[in-house]
Amino acid sequence: MTRPRGFSLAELVVALFLAGLIGLALARLVISQARFVAGQDGMLQARSTARAALNVLSSELRALTPGSLRAATADSITVRVPYAFGVACQQSGGGTAVSLLPGDSSIYNAATASGYAFHDSTGVWQFVEPATVASGTCSPSGPAITTLGATGWPARAVKVSPNALNTREGDLVYLYQVVRYALAPSTTLPGRLGLWRTVLSTGTREELAAPFDTGSTIRFLVGSRLTVRTTPPSVLDSVRGVRLRLVGQSERAPEGKSAPSRFDLSTNIVFRNNEGP
């Protein structure tokens, strides 16, 4: 009866060596895949930061009317942002009654008026600031003005004061907040930049998005040719828009990288800050 032959030492060494090579290759593959996924996740974070900031800025800046740009610096802009529109329907008791059109009830309820604007007889927007807004009623002396309601928006009229006697029944009116957008140091992620939104009438300051690379900038589109300027002009009415460069970053460096991921987003936002064409 023959005894079964076992492995020789040389065969065992070769087998262990081959198993080690396969294990090393698998480990390197797993590490490579993990770093790839981490890199993609970092890029998504950076892109999400840049796009979130752009969405907020574009939705509010594109609603501006002529004369709404109040101040500007190399890293901030201060604008009058409309949050409710309506029609003037009566002058009474030192105020102007306004029949509001249906709008976004959540935005309306969260806003505090800095002032109001009306479209005068010459077609120019006039601003009354500061102003207060209270409940009101419409009893026009001329043609009837219907106060409209909608789903989630009850029929609503308000009284704005002080009243501007040049506001006629039927003139367009809107309520606005004075808002400053600025690239400034982040509190969420110290040492990085954040995009801040401040309502000046209340002092409410909110960090909209972070972090951003120091390469993020605000440039100004000036005149009918939309000439790009790094600093605001002395006459703000000549500004027709802004060029935003938002360089979003991931919160931390992905595995295997020495710096956070970056996503460079540049776009122009044109708004109507001038009565011209």
Tokens of 91: 């002058």
Determine the pLDDT at residue 4.
Answer: 59
Determine the pLDDT at residue 221.
Answer: 94
**Distance separating alpha carbons of residues 193 and 249, to the nearest angstrom:** 10
Tokens of 233: 């002009």
**Distance separating alpha carbons of residues 175 and 81, to the nearest angstrom:** 8
Q: Say if residues 53 and 195 touch (Cβ distance below 8 Å).
A: yes
Phi, psi of 215 (to 5 degrees): -75, -5
End-to-end CA distance of the chain: 107
Segments in the chain forming alpha helices (H): 9-61, 105-110
CA distances from 183 to 52, 204, 216, 246 (A): 14, 16, 8, 10
Q: Say if residues 204 and 198 touch (Cβ distance below 8 Å).
A: yes
Pairing of strands 115-119, 262-270: unpaired
**Tens-level pLDDT at each residue, the chain (277 residues):** 555 566 677 777 777 877 888 888 787 777 677 666 666 676 677 778 788 778 888 888 888 888 899 999 989 999 999 999 999 988 877 889 999 999 889 999 989 999 999 988 888 889 999 999 998 888 877 678 888 888 889 999 999 998 877 788 888 999 999 999 999 999 988 888 999 999 998 999 999 888 888 889 999 999 888 999 999 998 898 999 999 998 888 888 877 778 888 888 888 999 887 765 5
**Distance separating alpha carbons of residues 266 and 179, to the nearest angstrom:** 22
Tokens of 210: 């972070």
Tell whether pTM > 0.85. Answer: no
Helix, strand, or coil (residue 249): strand
**Distance separating alpha carbons of residues 274 and 277, to the nearest angstrom:** 8
Q: Say if residues 36 and 29 touch (Cβ distance below 8 Å).
A: no
**Distance separating alpha carbons of residues 156 and 102, to the nearest angstrom:** 8
Q: Find the helix or strand (DSSP H, E) in which 65 lies.
A: none
Determine the pLDDT at residue 182.
Answer: 94
Pairing of strands 115-119, 76-92: unpaired
Place of tokens 């009566």: 90
Q: Find the helix or strand (DSSP H, E) in which 128 lies.
A: strand 125-128
Residue among 61, 54, 59 nearest 77 (CA)? 61
Determine the pLDDT at residue 136.
Answer: 87
Determine the pLDDT at residue 7.
Answer: 61
